[in-house]
Structure 1
Amino acid sequence: MVLQERDIEVLAAVAHYFILNSRQIREICFPDDSSGRITRRRLSKLMHAGYVRKRNMQVVNPADGSATPVYHLAKHGREFLAGHFDDDTFLAKPLEPSQPQHLYHYVAVAETHRLFDRAIANASGVAKVVRWVNEDEFVNPDEPDTSKRRLLRTSFDSRIVCLPDAAFVIRSQDHNAVFYLEQDRDTFFHDRVAARKSPGYQKLLAGAGHKQHFPETTLPFFFVLVMTPTAKRANQLRAAFAKRNKDEEVLKTYRFGSFEELNEHNLLFEPLLSCCHHDDRVPLIKRVASPDHTPVECSSQLSQG
């Protein structure tokens, strides 16, 4: 199979987001394909040629109206990208999800990743995502010794494990801030989620574990961004995490937002995220004024306040 330019774009998108469904691929690579027929045809060719693998989701995705299949890189596709872009880090991209029973969850993480990419594109250079790492990806894929490559998963003892759904570094105003993502789908009772997740992040913060994952960070702290389907769910989780965490420094790490309120136009700078340590809502990145005190789009700061 001779790959067309749009086929390469599909492979690059799947490598970038790890797992995507056909709707997401159509929106990224074939925006004019209103019926989805072209998208399905190209994906079918890529699958049969061994560039991507297709998996069937076991639950209905409300955004798509059916149990839509998802796609991720196959070995042939990974090797093609490494050669095409002359970048061997593609060879470290995961080929299999570690939790194939949670494909809907992976798709939700990809949707948050897409939201950030669109928001950064609208930010006119104010901020950029330096790195994004999914839970099945290595934080140091360019490490030549494969035995030293590490995942985000951090085990502290037999009971406490910190396992973010993804993590990313945002650069703004000469600072690199680390964000760990918790992708909530309102599957479990909010108190149970807080009980499971809080101990791991407490340990990670105490040991400055984010510096081991992302040595490029310039801050002594990190943030945990909890993305939820609705504002109501975000408020429930905020209360549950506040109850579980009494240390002020730990409380300052958490931010809660929802797809119900956030979009690519307001994600970065509008005060729509809830905190545990006070009742005011805050933006992901704070705007600051220029030296002559006039507000400017190109100046911002990252802080725990």
Structure 2
Amino acid sequence: DDFSVTASCRAEDSPGCIGCVSRSTFSLAEICKFSQSLGSLFLCVRTKTLSVVEGYFRFRIIRRANAMNLTERDYCILSKVVTYYVLSRQQIQHLCFPSDKTGRVTRRRLQVLVSSGLLNRHRAEVIYPNSSPAGSVYYPSPKGIELLAEHTGDECLLLTPTQPPIAHHVAHWFAVSDTHIKLAAAIASQERVILEGFINEWDIVNKDAKEPENRFRLYTLLTDSPKLVCAPDAAFMLTVPVKSDDSTVTFSKVFYLEEDRSTSGANQVAASKCKGYAALAENNFHVKHFPATNVQAFTVLCIAPNARRREALRKAFKGKVGSELWRFASADELAAETFLHEPLWYPVTGEAMPLVKPEAVQ
């Protein structure tokens, strides 16, 4: 094959670079000997999907990963961080190393990924809930998502956000991830209710756009003047087959997530959130986020840190526009076993109800 790559190399480059010479030329056949997984990458280069320079730098990432002998659990870490965006060491240990009682194996593999640039780590300047005093925050890196995209063949992973979380919002993001983990475990523990996608607040739909309403999947600009936006912490859709006398009907409903950390007064939260969601419902904009939904209404799930805060929020939301869309729960009552079918979700007025009625899926 006449295809070749010409690349520059600096003397200070790491040992994983292609060669320590001022300029080197490599034939496609020579490069492909490094890894069979490079086939799809160079197909992209040859078909102009990637530029030669982009292909070269992705090749360097893959070659360094091969040299480090990454394990499947290393790829598990990268995958989980991409899925949840922000995770603590304890959360990663729970997801990928459940038998690692001391955390030594988890810390060692995390250090390998951080040192190689495949994972970002932000050292916490404050003590976060469920974290050790020296706790750290882990989030995706550009190198890590490029390697994971090549490993899985999923180019959509390249849209994963890699910006560091704002320091004073980290506890909030830990809580969002914790809720997502519980939901995923609840779905995995049964077979009837299906989770049809989970969108985080910072998930990107157009990486070249600068306006947030065009860049991010969930951020919705409702009116320009006065400015009214709706920016949920996350969103997901549940598909439930409901049996009737002689048939089964499938319903797919959208849920938005608001994670409350008691950082603002309950009345302030109600005033700032209700109008946006009410306008979102009035215009049926939830269909833009999940086009497959066949339920006209959506539900906003507000999770408070404890029952006392939950009741304060219910009182504050009473009488507000769109308050019928909301359900409130306490984080300390939610678990994988109770998330779907236990009556833990309170409307503004009335008794608690389950997210999915157990009799509907039996």
Residue matched to 1:57: 124
Deviations 1:37-62 (A, max 9, x none): 11111111101111000012333213
Task: Indicate if the aligned counterparts of 2:260 and 2:304 stay in contact, CA closer than 8 A.
Answer: yes
Matched, 1:256 2:328: yes
Matched, 1:151 2:223: no
Equivalent runs, 1:102-251 vs 2, <5 Å: 102-122=169-189, 124-138=190-204, 141=205, 150-156=216-222, 157=224, 158-173=226-241, 174-245=250-321, 250-251=322-323
Residue matched to 2:351: 280
Instruction: State, as a whole percentage, how many aligned pairs show the same letter.
Output: 37
| Closer/same/farther in 2, CA of residues 215 and 25 from structure 1, 3 Å limit | same
- Cα offset for 1:279? 1.1
2-structure distance, mates of 1:151, 1:44: 32
Greater relative CO (CA pairs within 8 A, separation 6+)? 1
Secondary structure of the residue that 1:255 maps to in structure 2?
A: strand
Q: Which amino acid aligns with 1:125?
A: E
Moved more, 257-266 or 18-27: 257-266
Task: Indicate if the aligned counterparts of 1:58 and 1:101 stay in contact, CA closer than 8 A.
Answer: no
1-structure distance, mates of 2:272, 2:88: 29
Equivalent runs, 1:287-298 vs 2, <5 Å: 287-288=358-359, 298=361
1-structure distance, mates of 2:119, 2:271: 37
Q: Number of matched residues?
A: 281
Q: Which amino acid aligns with 2:233?
A: D
1-structure distance, mates of 2:334, 2:196: 21
1-structure distance, mates of 2:233, 2:332: 20
Secondary structure of the residue that 2:197 maps to in structure 1?
A: strand
Task: Indicate if the aligned counterparts of 1:127 and 1:170 stay in contact, CA closer than 8 A.
Answer: yes
Residue matched to 1:294: none
Secondary structure of the residue that 2:199 maps to in structure 1?
A: strand
1-structure distance, mates of 2:185, 2:338: 11
Secondary structure of the residue that 1:94 maps to in structure 2?
A: coil
Task: Indicate if the aligned counterparts of 1:59 and 1:104 stay in contact, CA closer than 8 A.
Answer: no
Q: Tell me which of 61, 81, 88 is aligned to 2:155.
A: 88
Secondary structure of the residue that 2:319 maps to in structure 1?
A: helix
- Cα offset for 1:206? 0.9
Deviations 1:65-109 (A, max 9, x none): 425111111111101111111111101111114645411211110
| Unaligned residue ranges in structure 1 (runs of 5+) | 290-297, 300-305
Secondary structure of the residue that 2:76 maps to in structure 1?
A: helix
Q: Which amino acid aligns with 2:281?
A: L
Deviations 1:140-159 (A, max 9, x none): x5x8x965664211122353
Task: Indicate if the aligned counterparts of 1:170 and 1:177 stay in contact, CA closer than 8 A.
Answer: yes
Secondary structure of the residue that 1:260 maps to in structure 2?
A: helix
Larger radius of gyration: 2
Q: Which amino acid aligns with 1:26?
A: Q
Task: Indicate if the aligned counterparts of 1:61 and 1:67 stay in contact, CA closer than 8 A.
Answer: no
CA RMSD in angstroms comes to: 1.8
Secondary structure of the residue that 2:303 maps to in structure 1?
A: strand
- Cα offset for 1:244? 2.3
Q: Which amino acid aligns with 1:85?
A: T
Task: Indicate if the aligned counterparts of 1:204 and 1:210 stay in contact, CA closer than 8 A.
Answer: yes
Q: Tell me which of 75, 82, 85 is aligned to 2:142.
A: 75
Residue matched to 1:292: none
| Unaligned residue ranges in structure 2 (runs of 5+) | 1-67, 242-249
Q: Which amino acid aligns with 1:163?
A: A
Q: Give TM-score, length-normalised by structure 1.
A: 0.87
